[in-house]
Structure 1
Amino acid sequence: MTFYDGIYPFYPKQITPFIFNLDLLTVILVFLVLAATFIIVLPGIRGKARLFWMFRMILSLFTGAVIVAVNFTSDWAAANVKANTTYKSFSSAFVSAEVGLHVGLSGINVTLKGVPLEQLNETIDYNEVFRWTDVLDKDYTDALEKGLPNPILYIAEKFTLNSPCGLYYQYRYSGQYASATMWTAFCCWLVANILFSLPVILYAGYMMVATGTFIFFSLASFATTQNIPACTFTIGTVSFQIHFSLSFWLSLATGVLCFLIGAMVVILDSLMPEKMREAFSVGVDDSDEDSLGEGYMNATFVDEVTAVPATELIEIRTEDYL
């Protein structure tokens, strides 16, 4: 088979790979808007509480953004290799390219980027998505119909239902459980932020500990993918294996941060509850009611009361009860 105007016959024209994950971009924009809103409000806070409040809000928004964003990223696990490999079916042409596999909670991304980018009279730059929710076999069939390059089809085939590697079920269900526990961690984070604005700082600390705990559960769920027998990925003459990537380690760091913050809040609130309430600017005890300010009484009324003898006051009170 030969080329026709740089395109293989019977295959649709090559489309440009996507650059941004729209779901992830939406999450980032939402939290950036929240951060901008808090920065606008910041000048209205007086004294030293301004710096503490700003630090607490930024740290909280960062934690929430990570918890939500990692549900939409595609780099919980990854593998990359540079090799000389066949390009497409019905052709013996070889290309030098970087092949990447990126595993997320909802599917996989397979990338192919030529080195150099322009080879065989076309731009070699692919980023193909195969999602668990759409039944990956259907996406794989569509990829065959499109005539995608051989390295992409080879890797995607490893995650199909009929593959002897058995990767599909392990990665799909591990990703689903990891996503579910991560959303539970997000709910705990929301409750913790609400409790931090109430005079129940101790329970807010407990919820931060719960947030970190559920993040650890999510990581443990995804880590079970390492228990399956290793499946060999060979591109050209080079083999590679899947390893944990950025989202996994970022989630681990966030979980440790939440756990440490929660434990610190619980300990400090047990040792010095009054100072903790003062630091978070919440609650006023009944014992502090006297410090609310001085009261004032009408001077004329005071003069009239003091002018009446005590015996007459007693008689007046007795008549009231009769």
Structure 2
Amino acid sequence: MTFYDGIYPFYPLQRTSFIFSTNLLTIILVFLVLAASFLLILPGIRGKSRFFWMFRILISLFIGAVIVALNFTADWAQASLKANSTYKSFSIAVVDADVGLHVGLYGINITLRGNPVNQLNETIDYNEEFRWTGQLDEQYAEALDRGLPNPILYIAEKFTRNSACGLIYQYRYSGRYASATLWTAFCCWLLANILFSMPVILYAGYMMLATAAFIFFSMASFSTIYNLPQCAFTIGDATFTTAYSHSFWLALATGVLCTLIGVLVVLLDLLVPDRVREVFSVGGDDDEDDQHSDFPHGYFNSSFLEGVAIEGGMKKGVTLDPLTISHLVERL
């Protein structure tokens, strides 16, 4: 059989990257456009508040982008090893390769990269995705038909319904609840940003704390898989198990950041509420009433008041001298 650029002609190209998928790139692009749009209005803000607004916008967009992106990343947990293993079925050929397993909330990615990449007259560089949303057993059967390497098939078989490990039930349901709580955290983040532009800064701080709480709930949901007996993966003479990866620790850092922001806003609003509203460029109800009142200050005509005082004194039979009238005008 002939080769084309080191790939068998009847094998399709690897389908996705376990780090930068198209969904993840779309999310990053959307939030970068939002950041650029908000930064364009910064020159119109005068004084030191410009830097505060820039810091606030960037931090807020970073939190929102992380919350959404964590739903689509494929490295909440991972495991990797270097092993000498048989390459294909019905063959005794052995390859030296790096094997990786990357677990996300919606599926897994299995990577196989040779050391070196070119072995057995073939380019050994695979990256296969298996998603919970579809029938993973059918995806595994399709992988068998395609003739994928043995290490990939061995790991994928551990996540089928017929496997004794039951990994699909552990990771699928824990990932489903983690994703649901992350989307709830995103809704809380949206409400917090709306409340930050209103005089109710205290409730905006509460919503930031709620955002952090739901991020922590998602982490707790994903962590439930480690309360069960772990299924060990053995490839060749090496064994490995999954452990928390980048997305999990990024979620933890984002949750801590939201907690710090929420606690700081709540404390400052309780201690110096007027100063906090001034910093966020919002005013209270009393300030708005004073600013938008039709008659913010009263001005009286002294001549008119003198006439009113004299007329009132005459009606009551009291005669007011000019000195008394001047004192009354000064008091008013």
For normalisation by structure 1, the TM-score amounts to 0.88
Residue 185 of structure 1: aligned partner? 185
CA–CA distance in structure 2, aligned partners of residues 150 and 32 of structure 1: 41
Tell whether the 8 Å contact from 1:17 to 1:126 is kept in structure 2 after alignment. Answer: no
Tell whether the 8 Å contact from 1:181 to 1:215 is kept in structure 2 after alignment. Answer: yes
Deviation at 1:310, TM superposition (A): 2.6
Deviation at 1:98, TM superposition (A): 0.6
Q: How big is each residue's C-alpha offset from its partner over 1:94-144, in whole Å with a ceiling of 9 and x where there is no partner?
A: 111110000000000000111111111121111101001102111111111
Gaps of 5+ in 2: 313-332
Q: How big is each residue's C-alpha offset from its partner over 1:36-58, in whole Å with a ceiling of 9 and x where there is no partner?
A: 11111111111010011110110
CA–CA distance in structure 2, aligned partners of residues 268 and 238 of structure 1: 55
For residue 16 of structure 2, the aligned residue among 4, 15, 18 is 18
- 1:5 is the counterpart of 2:19: no
CA–CA distance in structure 1, aligned partners of residues 126 and 296 of structure 2: 78
Residue 175 of structure 2: aligned partner? 175
CA–CA distance in structure 2, aligned partners of residues 124 and 307 of structure 1: 99
Tell whether the 8 Å contact from 2:64 to 2:186 is kept in structure 1 after alignment. Answer: yes
Tell whether the 8 Å contact from 1:6 to 1:121 is kept in structure 2 after alignment. Answer: no
Counterpart code for 1:90 = F
Residue 283 of structure 2: aligned partner? 283
Residue 221 of structure 2: aligned partner? 221
- For these two proteins, the number of residue pairs brought into alignment is 306
Tell whether the 8 Å contact from 2:290 to 2:296 is kept in structure 1 after alignment. Answer: no
For normalisation by structure 2, the TM-score amounts to 0.86
CA, structure 1 residues 152+307, in 2 after alignment: closer, same or farther (shift >3 Å)? Answer: closer
Which is greater in Rg?
A: 2
CA–CA distance in structure 1, aligned partners of residues 11 and 127 of structure 2: 15
Tell whether the 8 Å contact from 1:17 to 1:125 is kept in structure 2 after alignment. Answer: no
Gaps of 5+ in 1: 315-322
SS in 1 for 2:169: helix
For the aligned residue pairs, the C-alpha RMSD in angstroms reads: 2.6
Counterpart code for 1:60 = S
CA–CA distance in structure 2, aligned partners of residues 134 and 102 of structure 1: 18
Q: How big is each residue's C-alpha offset from its partner over 1:238-296, in whole Å with a ceiling of 9 and x where there is no partner?
A: 11110000000000110111112111111110111001001111124425765789989
Tell whether the 8 Å contact from 2:144 to 2:153 is kept in structure 1 after alignment. Answer: yes
| Runs of 4+ in structure 1 over 6 Å off | 291-297, 311-314
Counterpart code for 1:78 = Q
Residue 273 of structure 1: aligned partner? 273
CA–CA distance in structure 1, aligned partners of residues 294 and 52 of structure 2: 31
Q: Identical aligned pairs, as a percentage?
A: 63
SS in 1 for 2:95: strand
Residue 320 of structure 1: aligned partner? none
SS in 2 for 1:189: helix
SS in 2 for 1:309: helix
Residue 103 of structure 1: aligned partner? 103
Deviation at 1:84, TM superposition (A): 1.2
CA, structure 1 residues 133+312, in 2 after alignment: closer, same or farther (shift >3 Å)? Answer: same
Tell whether the 8 Å contact from 2:111 to 2:126 is kept in structure 1 after alignment. Answer: yes
SS in 2 for 1:165: coil
Residue 60 of structure 2: aligned partner? 60
- Greater shift after overlay, 66-75 or 20-29? 20-29
Counterpart code for 1:5 = T
Residue 81 of structure 1: aligned partner? 81
CA, structure 1 residues 91+310, in 2 after alignment: closer, same or farther (shift >3 Å)? Answer: same
Tell whether the 8 Å contact from 1:208 to 1:259 is kept in structure 2 after alignment. Answer: yes
Tell whether the 8 Å contact from 1:232 to 1:239 is kept in structure 2 after alignment. Answer: yes
CA, structure 1 residues 270+307, in 2 after alignment: closer, same or farther (shift >3 Å)? Answer: closer
Tell whether the 8 Å contact from 1:31 to 1:61 is kept in structure 2 after alignment. Answer: yes
Counterpart code for 1:274 = D
CA–CA distance in structure 1, aligned partners of residues 204 and 125 of structure 2: 48
Deviation at 1:16, TM superposition (A): 3.7
SS in 2 for 1:73: coil
CA–CA distance in structure 1, aligned partners of residues 79 and 217 of structure 2: 24
- Greater shift after overlay, 41-50 or 115-124? 115-124
Residue 51 of structure 2: aligned partner? 51
CA–CA distance in structure 2, aligned partners of residues 194 and 307 of structure 1: 50
CA, structure 1 residues 97+26, in 2 after alignment: closer, same or farther (shift >3 Å)? Answer: same
